[in-house]
Amino acid sequence: MELHQKITENENFAAALLARAGVYISHDPLMDSKADQMIAGFRTQKEIYQKVIELCSSSHSSLSEYLSVMAYSMLGEGYEDGVIRCAKEFLNTPSNWDIGNEEILIQDGIRKRRVDLRRGEVLMAMATAEAQRSFYVSALMHQKQAYALMPYSGEAAVRLSQILHHEAGMEAAVKFLQDQRQSTFYPPFLYVNEEGKQKHNDAFSRGIESELEKLKKES
């Protein structure tokens, strides 16, 4: 892995910590043992996210803002303002780091542009935080932007339907979900993973149908 020269030691360490918490970000592997040692002294996973935010607080680079958005969003309720603030900074800051060597990555058989994926993740975290604060107009706008960048994401589609439900009502949410049956990502498909094994991807359709069933029970 080749890291951008502007990445600081704190950012590398924060990325290693966040990777250990399940949000993988490319980082210097030499930081992994240091991250493990620090985590061993924590009592809760919440402390990992708080340490990531602390490490990134002195920098306003796109990487630091991205890491902070992810950490704040993982902290959950009560940290919405942090998500929104850092997401705005990220979206207004030119990228200054390489998050791996390839512009395209393949996940579960789907080709994704790395830059679109990261921007979409930030927009979705922002929309979720805004919805939690009842800023539904802004949340809907940002979730639509996230879904446009990640049309393969059933989670992004379902989250958009949930915000639509608040803003435009049950009928609008149901119609949007039903329209997703026409998406090129709706039909389940087979793919071969990195280990050469054949896998079945039906995540998009399962997410859509599960949410439709939920709305049906509510109606």
Please give the average pLDDT of every successive group of 10 residues along the chain, which has 219 residues. 62 94 85 94 94 93 94 96 97 72 83 92 98 96 98 98 96 98 97 94 98 94
Q: Coil, helix or strand for 191?
A: strand
The CA dihedral of 53, 49, 89, 117, to the nearest 10 degrees, is 140
90, two tokens: 């990220």
Query: Per-residue pLDDT tens for 6-47?
Result: 678 999 999 999 999 888 888 889 999 999 999 999 999 999
The confidence score (pLDDT) of residue 208 equals 98
Prediction pTM value = 0.91
Q: Coil, helix or strand for 190?
A: strand
* Cβ within 8 Å of residue 82, ≥6 positions away: 53, 68, 72, 75
The confidence score (pLDDT) of residue 55 equals 96
175, two tokens: 């119609």
Q: What share of the chain is helix, strand, coil (3-state, %, to 5)?
A: 65, 5, 30
Task: Give the whole-angstrom CA distance, residue 103 versus residue 112.
Answer: 9
The confidence score (pLDDT) of residue 14 equals 96
The confidence score (pLDDT) of residue 97 equals 65
